[in-house]
């Protein structure tokens, strides 16, 4: 594995900041894809565009080995107005790279360039630059476009920065590492009326308040305490006014779990609770329950290999191979349902605070100092998975 030159680091840092300056939302990443392709062109790396609408897949082959692996980075941004004063802050109002996808894309492009130069592997590597991760639909869109049919892979890997993990460290685990995300919308219809005459109404807001409170018992009383689960009501809308009792309310929210059986249980209990309370209050309801993200589940053998590659570049003391799972969700789960693989965290927090702001925060910025380590990890993983000797 060759150390990164100053010229290459400057090129990649420039790319990362350029991507940060011009963020694009899900399935709008045309300029982002073009910038990635330009950097791949400079290294003579072949690629195809348009998978999953705006995705890019680059391919390198070396030696005569018949094994193939895929490495994935996401490159969409979030609908957040940036509050930093960085020279390269977002120039797209209301849109920013608040999750480090600009950094993920840069590190994967850097790895492709390094491997194109060294050819220090025996087999095939596909570099997947994925759109629309934040919406949870980009991985599925690429798969539906024939991703693994056109670019066969024995395993697939991904990496995400983690601002509360110190730079220089990695963390991963076998089994569930990120949760499933389910969204729900409950619409309650009653009979509104004058606030001075509540006995003539069927108050949709009071009914909704009872529902919000009772939904908290799903996790506390219906889910096994040893299973991870969260049910959060995040929005409550009504057509009431200070002197008008509401006829209609809408409750929206989010449920998280690691096990499909728990997700099913949450939906069943939610339906029973809403039906019972609406009947008690004389109201009617509809419930839409949508599974947006599957749980991200790492396979043991690929996790061992990912951890070994991380140790090779960061040292054994800087790799946690059995970290706690997180309740956040990740679109990469769709790829792990198709192929064995691993999802690993790379530390992004520096002592001076750079890169340490929470993800999805308007003041977030990726820590450029970890670009060489991220590139080195990808290269080490490829060299071990596709050993040339």
pLDDT tens per residue across span 117-150 = 999 999 999 999 999 999 999 999 999 999 999 9
Query: Is residue 133 flagged as an active site residue?
Result: yes
Q: Which is the catalytic residue, given 102, 133, 302, 383?
A: 133
pLDDT score recorded for residue 3? 81
Per-residue pLDDT at 358 exceeds 70: yes
How open is the CA angle 198-288-274, to the nearest 5 degrees?
40
Closest CA to 257 of 175, 325, 323, 327: 327
The DSSP string of 286-319 is: EEEEEEEE--EEE-HHHHHHHHHHHHHHH-GGGE
Q: Which is the catalytic residue, given 76, 134, 181, 385?
A: 76
- CA distance linking residue 220 with residue 204, whole number of Å: 25
Q: Classify strands 229-238 and 248-257 as parallel, antiparallel or unpaired.
A: antiparallel
Per-residue pLDDT at 357 exceeds 80: no
Q: What is the mean pLDDT of residues 309-327?
A: 98
Round the average pLDDT of the chain to a whole number and report it.
96
- CA distance linking residue 31 with residue 37, whole number of Å: 10
Residues sharing a CB contact under 8 Å with residue 297, sequence separation 6 or more, in sequence order: 175, 176, 177, 333, 336
How confident is residue 344, by pLDDT bands cut at 50, 70 and 90?
very high
How confident is residue 355, by pLDDT bands cut at 50, 70 and 90?
low
Percentage of the chain surpassing pLDDT 90? 96
pLDDT score recorded for residue 381? 98
Per-residue pLDDT at 352 exceeds 90: no
Q: What is the mean pLDDT of residues 20-30?
A: 98
Q: What is the mean pLDDT of residues 272-278?
A: 98
How confident is residue 356, by pLDDT bands cut at 50, 70 and 90?
low
Token pair in block for residue 372:
């060489």
HSE of 177, CA atoms in CB hemisphere, 13 A: 28
pLDDT tens, position by position, 137-191? 999 999 999 999 999 999 999 999 999 999 999 999 999 999 999 999 999 999 9
Q: Classify strands 155-166 and 68-74 as parallel, antiparallel or unpaired.
A: parallel
pLDDT score recorded for residue 354? 60
pLDDT score recorded for residue 189? 98
Element (H, E) at 46: strand 46-51
pLDDT score recorded for residue 350? 74
* Domains in the chain, CATH or no CATH each: 6-177+295-385 (3.40.630.10), 180-293 (3.30.70.360)
Per-residue pLDDT at 263 exceeds 70: yes
- CA distance linking residue 245 with residue 77, whole number of Å: 40
Alpha helices in 163-222 (DSSP H): 204-215, 217
Closest CA to 76 of 117, 23, 147: 23
Closest CA to 32 of 145, 129, 149, 143: 129
How open is the CA angle 324-328-332, to the nearest 5 degrees?
95
Cα of first residue to Cα of last residue in the chain, in angstroms, is: 14
Q: How many residues does the chain have?
A: 389
SS3 47: strand
- CA distance linking residue 259 with residue 1, whole number of Å: 39
pLDDT score recorded for residue 353? 63
């Amino acid at each position: 594995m060759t150390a990164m030159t100053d010229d290459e680091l400057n090129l990649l840092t420039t790319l990362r900041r350029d991507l940060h300056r011009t963020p694009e939302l899900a399935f709008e990443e045309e300029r982002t894809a073009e910038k990635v392709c330009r950097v791949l062109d400079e290294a003579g790396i072949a690629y195809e565009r348009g998978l999953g609408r705006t995705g890019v897949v680059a391919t390198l082959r070396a030696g005569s080995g018949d094994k193939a692996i895929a490495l994935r980075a996401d490159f969409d941004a979030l609908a957040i107005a940036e509050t930093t004063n960085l020279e390269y802050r977002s120039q797209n109002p209301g849109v920013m790279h608040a999750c480090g996808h600009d950094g993920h894309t840069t590190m994967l492009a850097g790895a492709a360039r390094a491997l194109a130069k060294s050819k220090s592997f025996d087999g095939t590597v596909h570099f997947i630059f994925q759109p629309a991760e934040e919406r949870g639909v980009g991985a599925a869109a690429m798969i539906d476009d024939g991703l693994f049919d056109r670019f066969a892979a024995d395993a697939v890997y991904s990496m995400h920065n983690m601002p509360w993990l110190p730079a220089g460290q990695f963390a991963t685990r076998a089994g569930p590492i990120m949760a499933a995300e389910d969204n729900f919308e409950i619409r309650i219809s009653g009979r509104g009326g004058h606030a001075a005459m509540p006995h003539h109404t069927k108050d949709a807001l009071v009914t909704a308040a009872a529902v919000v409170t009772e939904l908290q018992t799903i996790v506390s009383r219906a889910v096994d305490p040893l299973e991870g689960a969260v049910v959060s009501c995040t929005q409550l809308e009504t057509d009431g006014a200070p002197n008008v009792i509401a006829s209609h309310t809408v409750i929206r929210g989010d449920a998280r779990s690691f096990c499909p059986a728990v997700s099913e249980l949450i939906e069943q209990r939610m339906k029973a609770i809403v039906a019972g309370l609406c009947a008690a209050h004389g109201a009617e309801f509809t419930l839409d329950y949508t599974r947006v993200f599957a749980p991200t589940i790492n396979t043991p053998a690929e996790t061992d290999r990912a951890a070994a590659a991380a140790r090779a570049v960061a040292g054994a003391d800087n790799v946690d191979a059995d970290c706690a799972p997180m309740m956040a969700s990740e679109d990469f789960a769709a790829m792990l349902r198709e192929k064995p693989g691993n999802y690993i965290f790379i530390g992004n927090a520096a002592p001076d605070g750079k890169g340490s702001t929470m993800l999805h925060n308007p003041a977030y910025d990726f820590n450029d100092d970890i670009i060489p380590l991220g590139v080195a990890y990808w290269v080490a993983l490829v060299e071990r998975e596709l050993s040339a000797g």
